[in-house]
DNA sequence: ACAGAGTCATTTACGAGTAAAACACATGCT
DNA sequence: AGCATGTGTTTTACTCGTAAATGACTCTGT
């Protein structure tokens, strides 16, 4: 749309030539090294190709982290691109939808600062998005009576209707996108990602005590 | 740095109030609903809180996809932020490092177009990054003799040295960031992400055949 | 009551990415 | 040969996000 980022390739990239360098049946040394972390890596994604390339030119390095971080980044890029599709139809960018969704799911008014914290974005960015959304009649603002610095933002009826219309489409789309994994795999993946996220938020995320 | 994006909160956000609404020992209905996909969701990350909020206001929707996609997005945002730290010390942004790393791991010259495809970025973005990197003496370009439209880009000695110096730091840092998960968890996560990525690339990624 | 410090939100200046147009060149067809 | 078409790369116009400065206001201590 407009603000789509597309940050992706951690160390990710696709190998133009040797896509399946080592056959899966008789793994060569490079595949074995990559497989050390992947477990039984039957399928080959682009990150696996990158890992193989690194092993070829720098056999000494430990590519383990890349197999997680590279894939997380690449998956995020592809998923965001995919996710944007239903939103575009509603004339929304994902950051805009995040604002609306945050208001919808909390169920009450929020200040711009709260929205910024909820959506992990800067206050300035929220200011601009709220301006857009207000102009489109999707949110309303009202000043605080006690503290006249703060504003309170809420969804308009139109905004609420829009979220309620788009959300199911969005989730249906997402379900389809994830359907390559069966239920058990999805469950395990969600669980592991949850644990990783929990760890990351503890060590990197706001140590805001 | 300068262009750090920080796109994150798919539907992610942190609950300001009820962080641990349902006790882990005696999960209430909301936790049970969330747990339906997470499996045994012992730990609570921000996405779990968001899912609980959605269940509270829209009990009818299937939040399953959010537990994967929301977490992937949020993990990617946190990891990228973390990953940038060692790169900043070298005066590089991640996209710049991606270009250098791509040249390093392929081991040979690449054209701007190839670099764009390898790093999943637009040609225009690559043009600008190459301009920067060339000015800093990290890459060199030479024109193709056959086809004078195309350029060939390669690392200078300085560029190669920089990559070789930064890469181990980067991987060490990444290893530390992931150390919250034990070896088996990392292996399983890498494997599941690999499968997801394989599926996504098949269905969303370049159907360039 | 008032100065100073802190907080919430917005504005400003700027950098980076994108899409689309523009170039520069090659290639195929007649 | 000569022109249309296609491809690789760069340029242009524009958007969005950020960091830092600013404005507006509250709160605390004296």
Q: Both A99 and A74 in a single domain?
A: no
CB contact (8 A) between residue A194 and residue B41: yes
DSSP states of B175-190 as a string? HHHHTTS-HHHHHHHH
Averaged pLDDT in 10-residue chunks for chain A of 209 residues: 38 35 35 41 83 95 94 92 84 95 96 96 96 95 92 96 93 92 95 94 57
| Cβ burial, residue A59 (10 Å; 0-12/13-18/19+) | exposed
Q: Both A75 and A137 in a single domain?
A: no
Left, alpha or beta for B39 (phi > 0: left; psi -120 to 50: alpha)?
A: left
| Chain-centroid distance, C-alpha B102 | 16
* Parent domain of A17: 7-82
Say if residues B27 and B35 touch (Cβ distance below 8 Å).
yes
Torsion angles phi and psi, residue A13, rounded to 5: -175, 165
Name the 3-class secondary structure at A158. helix
Q: Looking at the domain assignment, is residue A136 inside a domain?
A: yes
CATH number at residue A163: 1.10.10.10
Q: SS3 breakdown of chain A: % helix, strand, coil, rounded to 5?
A: 60, 5, 35
Question: For B110, which residue in chain A has the nearest alpha carbon?
Answer: A16
Q: Both B153 and B94 in a single domain?
A: yes
Nearest residue to D26 (CA, C1')?
A147
Separation in Å, CA of A9 to nearest CA in chain B: 5
Cα distance between residue B36 and residue B45, in whole Å: 16
B chain contacts of residue A164, beta-carbon cutoff 8 Å: 58
Beta strand A139-143 with B139-143 is unpaired
Q: Both B47 and B93 in a single domain?
A: no
- Over residues A9-57, the pLDDT tens digits come to 445 433 333 333 333 333 333 333 333 444 455 678 899 999 999 999 9
Cα distance between residue B150 and residue B143, in whole Å: 6
Q: Which nucleotide is nearest to A150 (CA to C1')?
A: C8
**Strand C positions within 7 A of protein Cβ atoms:** 7-12, 15-20, 24-27
* Interface subset of A 161-200, CB within 8 angstroms of B: 164, 167-168, 171, 174-175, 177-178, 180-181, 185-200
CA-to-C1' distance for A140 and D24, Å?
A: 21
Q: Both A106 and A147 in a single domain?
A: yes
Averaged pLDDT in 10-residue chunks for chain B of 209 residues: 38 35 34 41 83 95 94 93 84 94 96 96 97 96 94 97 94 92 95 94 57
pTM: 0.80
């Amino acid at each position: 749309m407009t603000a789509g980022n597309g940050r992706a390739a951690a160390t990710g990239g696709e190998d133009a030539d040797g896509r399946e360098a080592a056959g899966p049946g008789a793994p060569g040394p490079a595949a074995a090294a990559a497989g050390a972390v992947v477990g039984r890596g039957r399928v080959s994604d682009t990150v696996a190709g990158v890992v193989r390339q690194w092993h070829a030119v720098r056999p000494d390095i430990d590519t383990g982290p890349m197999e997680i971080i590279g894939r997380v980044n690449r998956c995020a890029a592809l998923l965001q691109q995919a996710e944007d599709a239903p939103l575009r139809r509603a004339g929304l960018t994902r950051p805009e939808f995040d604002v609306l969704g945050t208001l919808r799911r909390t169920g009450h008014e929020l200040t711009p600062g709260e929205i910024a914290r909820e959506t992990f974005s800067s206050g300035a960015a929220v200011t601009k998005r709220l301006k857009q959304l207000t102009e489109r009649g999707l949110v309303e603002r009202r000043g605080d009576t006690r503290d006249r610095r703060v504003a309170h933002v809420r969804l308009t009826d139109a905004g609420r209707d829009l979220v309620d219309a788009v959300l199911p489409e969005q989730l249906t789309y997402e379900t389809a996108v994830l359907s390559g994994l069966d239920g058990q795999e999805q469950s395990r993946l969600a669980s592991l990602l949850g644990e990783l996220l929990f760890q990351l938020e503890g060590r990197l995320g706001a140590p805001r005590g």
